[in-house]
Amino acid sequence: MNKLEQLRQRSQVVADTGDIEAIRRYRPHDATTNPSLLFKAAQLPQYREHIAASLAWAQNHSGDRAKLAAIKLAVAIGGEILQLVPGVVSTEVDARLSFDTRATIDYARRLIALYEQAGVERERVLIKVASTWEGIAAAGVLEREGIHCNLTLLFSFCQAVACAEAGVTLISPFVGRILDWHKANSGRDHYSPEEDPGVVSVRGIYQYYKSRDYPTIVMGASFRNTGEIEALAGCDRLTISPQLLQALEEDPTALAAGLETDVEREPRPARPLSEAEFRYQLNNDAMATEKLAEGIRNFVQDQERLESLLRQQIEGAAKDNAAANSQAF
């Protein structure tokens, strides 16, 4: 077996892409998207029909047409992905709402309503929310409503603890971005997989969850190389880019040992993490603070780029209609 086949025997493999062709090729169990991936997908010719349908739908609803079309497009692409994977698809809340609990809840409910209108059961969708205090609080409310959540942009232990205590379905700790920060700030350019700071972080979170019987799923994300993936073989789920899926598929050698899945049981904390404790611990972790802020900014930028692309099409269609009307007269 190649390494991808071996990995599938130990972890659920998730495709970190909105590219339908890549999903069809690698046959992941689940798929996850974000504004960056949707922006790239929106520029591919195979999505033109989805874009046109999303723009037409937005025209019949009040509000900013580009923002509405972006929501509808995310659901349309998610629905197409679900025809190819047996599991779930993750769809992201607008990152501009990362510090607004109520707005995050409303946005998530709207996404789920659109999926259900398209015939997709809510059990097949994970709502992606940034792991801010406000985002975690929103996820706790949504989970109690039967809307399952994927807490993303997770870089620190305190974020993981708060997510477990809120009862979220899944977390996505960002392995590669943690490594990026340490390389940039330590003056060190190489880490072995076993000492990779991102790998060490996810292993610690995994051990904490399993030893205390938290049901929250740990899904390693944002990998920079296959060594990181192998070091986390055995983790509940791993979301992997098409490029790294290909590298694993082309490697016929034995997969590395991975993480230790047999853990001793420990008692849960006597009380949940308070907001003040969460904010202090996050603030005290320079890497997590910087990467969380950077990640939100980058997702906002790509969300705005997607909306700008859709807005250009709206304006182009309006000009074409105006020209056609003037010719008719």
Active site (catalytic) residues: 128
Three-state SS for 84? coil
Backbone angles phi, psi at 296, to 5 degrees: -65, -45
Sign of the CA dihedral running 64, 36, 201, 85 = positive
169: Cα within 13 Å, side-chain hemisphere: 21
Q: Can you read off the two tokens belonging to residue 134? A: 């406000």
Please state, in angstroms and as integers, the Cα–Cα distance from residue 267 to each residue in 108, 205, 208, 271, 275, following that order: 33, 15, 10, 11, 22
Task: Determine the Cα–Cα distance for residues 70 and 208; give it in Å rounded to an integer.
Answer: 37
Task: Determine the Cα–Cα distance for residues 278 and 8; give it in Å rounded to an integer.
Answer: 35
Q: Can you read off the two tokens belonging to residue 100? A: 């607004």
Task: Determine the Cα–Cα distance for residues 39 and 57; give it in Å rounded to an integer.
Answer: 19
In three state form, how does the secondary structure of 180-199 look?
Answer: HHHHHHHCCCCCCCCCCHHH
